Amino acid sequence: MTTKSSRGKRSGSRGNRREDKPVDLSHLPVAKNEEYEAEIIGIGHNGEGVGRVDGFTLFIPGALPGERVLVKILKLKKQYGYGKLLKVLEASSERVNASCEIYDKCGGCQLQHLDYEAQIRWKRQFVVDNLERIGKLKVAGQDEADDSDASKDGIVVYPTLGMEDPWRYRNKAQVPIGEEQGGLVGGFYAQGSHRIVDMDKCLIQHEDNDEVITKIKEIGNRLGITAYNEETHAGLLRHVVIKVGFTTGEMMVVLITNGSRIPNQEQWIEEIREALPKVVSICHNVNKERTNVIFGAETRVIWGQEHIYDYIGDVKFAISARSFYQVNPIQTEVLYRKALEYAALSGDEVVVDAYCGIGTISLFLAQHASKVYGVEIVPEAIADATRNAELNEITNVSFDVGAAEDVFPKWYDAGVRADVVVVDPPRKGCDEALIESILAMRPKRVVYVSCSASTLARDLRMLEDGGYVTKVVQPVDMFPHTVHVEAVVLLVRREV
């Protein structure tokens, strides 16, 4: 309704649109392209320093709280602006030299210049700020965060669970391919652009992923493979996706092309197998669309296994080319064990897992519950979840395809009464209809696994308004050196 109405407005005003008047910024204490000294007072949600010049707010990538910096103004709005860091005049004691050689070009990490202990402290505070600002929730003081009785004074937000070794933790690489001077390049998009930064190593990727990318570029160049060009829609190789099982060491390579046929395919396969003996699966995905979406609809195995395998704890998972699987398996186990702790299962409970994916949390919980029901909107993920249950001989789980907000009422009508509901939604958070379904199902506990502090805070507010109390929040650092933070949250029904 809203979309149609707004479209009508736009079409009705076409031809009569007045040019927007330029905003008068002459009263601001700063001017575009000029240089100023700024005091940095915080970190923004994208990892940039938040600075002040005569009370005016500037966002300055690379600056840290407590620093005094020289900045050049790049862009101005009425109430804030963006600047380029020219020089650190007084450095923070928490500033460190970034370990990555292309850190300032890549944009994949945002916080390598901040000491790791400071990173995980900031991530806790980032969660707290969102809970208070967006969710209007009361948070207990940090001094009380280790006191289990502190919940009477507000929500306990524990210190972030970080990694002992916060490097080389990613088990999946999605690398765009381009051309420079007639040769293939592959790496990451420069921050805020689609210009590919070539790389030989990425310090947050598993070392084997680096080797695969290097060899794929070498083989592609030798076989005369062209790279896809977004502007002309010409060229063949768009992306290379690599997956590695941390426990098993098995690797999968997915070649994503702008065409149904790979020239010299058998030679490609032979050379990949010879150069990369850990690769047990080579897949081909076809994407002929003019789109930034990585995968196309058609995927086939051109050599080897359909899946690679890995473990979270003692649960084994089959991972296909299109499977969603957490990219940091070390911290995933930390995350799931915390979810299991908050679920407080004795073996008699019925658990419902919304957004179950390939069954990672469902199977983890099923070992301690009477019955687990999982739902996921992606049919291929449910097929993988069912396969993973069979792989582990776990029989007390049931998986359905569909939107959780549609499936929940059907389960309820069929007599399913959940003691615990677990949600692990995408970054946009829970659908409002799902929140309503959870409130109608009235489980004793809700365990919310979040990858977005802002949508978490919004959803907690709705659950609190519907009769639940947020007890504890445990931030988990799944992505060191980036601004992302996950959290596991326990809510209990108010009358329980």
Task: Just list the catalytic residues.
Answer: 451
Beta-bridge mates of residue 49:
43, 60
Do 106 and 98 touch, CB atoms closer than 8 A? no
CB atoms within 10 A of CB 232: 7
Short-list 179, 167, 181, 247, CA closest to 210: 167
What b/e sequence results for 460-485 when a residue is b if at least 16 CB atoms lie within 10 Å of its CB, and e otherwise? bbbbbebebebebbbbbbbbbbbbbb
Do 446 and 491 touch, CB atoms closer than 8 A? yes
Tally of helices (H runs) and strands (E runs) in the chain? 11, 22
Judge residue 428's burial from the number of C-beta atoms within 10 Å of its C-beta, 0-12 exposed, 13-18 middle, 19 or more buried: exposed
3-state class of 316 per DSSP?
Answer: strand
CB atoms within 10 A of CB 412: 16
The two structure tokens encoding residue 254: 């997915």
The identity of residue 452, as a single letter, is S
Do 139 and 157 touch, CB atoms closer than 8 A? yes
Do 304 and 283 touch, CB atoms closer than 8 A? no
The two structure tokens encoding residue 205: 């990727």
